[in-house]
Amino acid sequence: MSIEIGATGSAVADPDMSLIDSIYARHSVRGYLDKEVPQEVLNRMFEIAQQAPSNCNVQPWKVYIASGALKDRLRKEMVEKTAAGVPPNPDYPYRVNFENEYRKRQVECAVALYSKMGIGRGDKEGRMRAVLRNFEFFDAPYIAFLGMDPSFGTTVAIDVGMFAQTLMLTMVAFGLHSCPMGTMRNYPDMIREAFDIEDGTKILFGISFGYEDLSVTANETRTTRDDVSTNVVFRSS
């Protein structure tokens, strides 16, 4: 896949990639090349993602993208806090308890990833290292933090999720990959300080992104999807 710059200097996505191709090609990448993305490409990708649907077209997503020295500082501070066992203080507490078939899928995902990383079930040191990789942003050159106005609730958070999916699929069309990361909600005060956020924006999650490093074995991880009948019900009477 190649990235083209048009005659006017504008970024052009892969003309041979369909939306369906992007959906099947997208996967969570946990290892990136130390390579900057041209600003024109960044601008174009986020412009396209801005077309995502939202309730009454309020476009509630707030996106803060760190790179360079700021990204390195946030990475260092997050790793230190996590390694030291500093309790997270997320704006939106994580209250998910996976049971039954959901637990089964969660375990299958973990086994698929850890096996590629060479981490055994009893390897506590390896598992901790895997956790810290999240806060190292998987060596991505960019980390985006997504949030919304503090007055919004679950319904509007869904809109932010649709923006994120649109963005990640757009990235694939431009030859990049990403990893959505719930762990990026752990220390929201750090994000507000880094970006001088004074309006109380709450942080929902993050997305690391950049050019995939194919030499990283974790990037070989693939998960399965159940048959559509497991999740979808068609009925006409």
Query: pLDDT tens digits for 77-128?
Result: 999 999 999 999 999 988 778 999 999 999 999 999 999 999 998 899 999 9
With vertex at residue 210, the alpha carbon angle to CA 50 and CA 141, rounded to the nearest 5 degrees, is 110
According to the model, what pLDDT value does residue 11 have? 66
For residue 81, count CB atoms less than 10 angstroms from its CB and return exposed for 0-12, middle for 13-18, buried for 19 or more.
middle
In the chain, what are the domain boundaries? Answer: 18-222
Label residues 110-146 b or e (16+ Cβ within 10 Å = b).
eeebbebbebeeeeeeebeebeebbbbbbbbbbbbbb
Architecture of domain 18-222: 3-Layer(aba) Sandwich (3.40)
Query: pLDDT tens digits for 134-184?
Result: 999 999 999 999 999 999 998 999 999 999 999 999 999 999 999 999 999
Mean pLDDT (whole number) for 184-202: 97
Model confidence at 12: pLDDT above 80: no
Neighbours of 43 (CB within 10 A): 12
Mean pLDDT (whole number) for 193-215: 97
In three state form, how does the secondary structure of 99-141 look?
A: CHHHHHHHHHHHHHHHHHHCCCCCCHHHHHHHHHHHHCHHHCC
Residues contacting 98, CB < 8 A, separation 6+: 105, 106
Alpha helices in the chain (DSSP H): 19-25, 39-49, 68-83, 100-117, 124-135, 154-173, 188-194
Closest CA to 138 of 147, 129, 146: 129
Q: Do 61 and 160 contact (CB within 8 A), yes or no?
A: yes
Terminal Cα distance for the chain, rounded: 46
Question: How far is Cα 42 from Cα 29, in angstroms, rounded to an integer?
Answer: 18
Mean pLDDT (whole number) for 34-47: 97
Residues contacting 82, CB < 8 A, separation 6+: 131, 132, 135, 186
Average pLDDT of the chain is: 93
